[in-house]
Structure 1
Amino acid sequence: MLYLLNNSLEFPEPQFAEPDGLLAVGGDLRPDRLLAAYRRGIFPWYNDNSPILWWCPHPRLVLVPKDLHIAKSLRKVLRKQVFSIGFDTDFHGVIRLCAETRLDTGGTWITADMNRAYCRLFELGYAHCVEAWEDGELVGGIYGVAVGRAFFGESMFHLKPNASKVALVHLVRFLEHHGFHLIDCQQTTPHMLHFGATEWPRPSFLRALESATVLDHLAGPWHTCEMPDFQW
């Protein structure tokens, strides 16, 4: 059964999602609703030709920061410091390029409304990004949402080989350093499986999420936070 949202911030129980993970339709993207959704393991994913769709897939791909796997070839890139890394210094640029690079491959769910909504979350200290720079040009990055000590990955892009991978590794090490319990990868992909993410049953994910989201929130901007000693 597909649920139609109203002005209330209440969501149906995630276990009522359809087999593909679709749970509800409608509502809006105001910050309070988005944060309420993330705390319940629910996220929006739709395109310009549809209403807002809300999802809670089963199983759920999750990366525990301490379980990050870094391939030998990527470690070599990290040691060479090919890219300069920034935290929360160009969120607008990262989300814009995440959208543009997907348009080149057939479409994007980062609509204009989604862009505005997540930029607002960034202004409120909940959305964050990591950027990879080369010669002053933004060539890779990743963004997502942090609630308590859970991070919800939304999208990543690269204009140069390995740029998004390097940004991801720096993000995961940062999250591990600051005591984050998990990174929600949302959908299962070979790319994230390669980095050590594993599929969790929905009930296990929701229990872990409940514990993580009630912890103290690490507000932004993250470039002002203590950085780990990045050793590769």
Structure 2
Amino acid sequence: MGVYIRTQARPETPWESLNVLAAPTEGPAAFGGDLGPRSLLTAYRHGLYPFPAETAEHCIVNELTYEADVAAGRVKLIPGYDDPFSIAWCSPDPRPVILVQQARIQRSLRRQLRKETGWTTTADVCFERVARQCRAGRTERWLTDDLLRGLCLLHELGHAHSVEVWDGDELIGGVLGVRVGAVFSADSQFTLRSGAGKAAVADLTRRFAEAGGLAVDVQRDGDHVRLLGAQPMSRRQYFGLLSARDEGRPLATGRLPARRLAD
């Protein structure tokens, strides 16, 4: 006589119950949760990126602005911190994405890279230093201490990466973000020398393509990312890219001449 064992279904997590496809096209899709590495990675896998509030006043503004959407169920609250409005989770529709096979470099940047013979690029050499530069001097510091800590832990786990641009031994630009399968979500970049931030994004795109990646999500649209080949992509198309979970090959980290990007 057979023995039948009833197994309980794995409980659905708050992230899995969030229907991001039905979320508002602008503004947050959700509030709450936490900024630990597990939550961050799960959120990125669901097409979300964090935008934490730096101050209590910012939390109040979030609540006053979106309380009607939360009450109507259009924006979900994720259990987490005491004040759920301290972390917004965004999934714009459409969002600017660079398909790595369609990436391009504007003519003026090509000319500059050919002249800057001392510029080189690396990857994952100084992730935390890049992160701290990305938030230095910014008045709306969305890259808060908690988010910085969570991203650094994700880097240690091999999911978050940085690209650095150097002039000799001087760090002059960089970009960082989180890799989810065939998609790299570029969270922030900085530049201390004209063109260095764009060079960092171009180098990231090149390295990611060589590692088997398909697209770099630059999150926020603008002329500067359009010049690098970013195009609006619908949320549904973006989710199709996310579903290709093959991690491909590791990102190459070695020091390379930046002028190769002009070829």
Residue 96 (structure 2) pairs with residue 90 (structure 1): no
Question: Which runs of 5 or more residues in structure 1 are unaligned?
Answer: 1-5
Task: Tell me if the contact between 2:120 and 2:255 (Cα under 8 Å) persists in the aligned partners.
Answer: no
Is 1:13 matched up with 2:48?
no
Aligned length: 220
Q: Using the alignment, how far apart are the partners of 1:69 and 1:216 within structure 2?
A: 24
Equivalent-residue separation in structure 2 for 1:30 and 1:107 (angstroms): 21
Q: Out of 143, 149, 164, which is 2:176 matched to?
A: 143
Higher mean Cα deviation, 171-180 or 77-86?
77-86
> Are residues 1:154 and 2:187 paired?
yes
1:215 is aligned, of 235, 246, 250, to 246
> Gaps (5+ residues) in structure 2?
1-11, 60-85
> Hey, what does 2:224 align to over in structure 1?
191
Could you tell me how far apart the structure 2 residues matched to 1:19 and 1:73 are?
34
Tell me the TM-score normalized by structure 2. 0.77
Cα pair distance change 1:184/1:59, threshold 3 Å: same
Distance 1:181 1:15, change over 3 A: same
Structure-1 residue corresponding to 2:36:
30
Structure index of larger Rg: 2
Deviates most, 12-21 or 159-168:
12-21
Deviations 1:101-139 (A, max 9, x none): 4x2xx3221001111010001111111111111231211
Q: Distance in 1 between matches of 2:173 and 2:31?
A: 32
Q: Are residues 146 and 173 of structure 1, via their aligned partners in 2, closer, same or farther at CA, if it must alter by over 3 Å?
A: same
Question: For each residue in 1:164-215, what CA deviation from the matched residue of structure 2 results, as whole angstroms up to 9, or x when unmatched?
Answer: 111111111111112211111112111111111110111111112212xx10
The DSSP-based 3-state class of the residue aligned with 1:129 is strand
C-alpha contact (below 8 Å) 2:122/2:255 kept by paired residues: no
Query: Are 1:64 and 1:182, in contact at CA under 8 Å, matched by a contact in 2?
Result: yes
Matches within 5 A, 1:119-130: 119-130=152-163
CA spacing shift, 1:219–1:121, aligned 2, 3 Å? farther
Give the superposed CA RMSD. Answer: 2.4
Q: CA deviation at 1:65?
A: 0.8
Alpha carbons of structure 1 residues 131 and 224: separation in structure 2 relative to 1, 3 Å: closer
Q: Does 1:63 align with 2:98?
A: yes
- For residue 201 of structure 2, what is the aligned residue in structure 1? 168
Matched-pair identity in %: 33
State TM-score, norm by structure 1. 0.86
Give yes or no for contact 2:34–2:87 (8 Å, CA) kept in 1.
yes
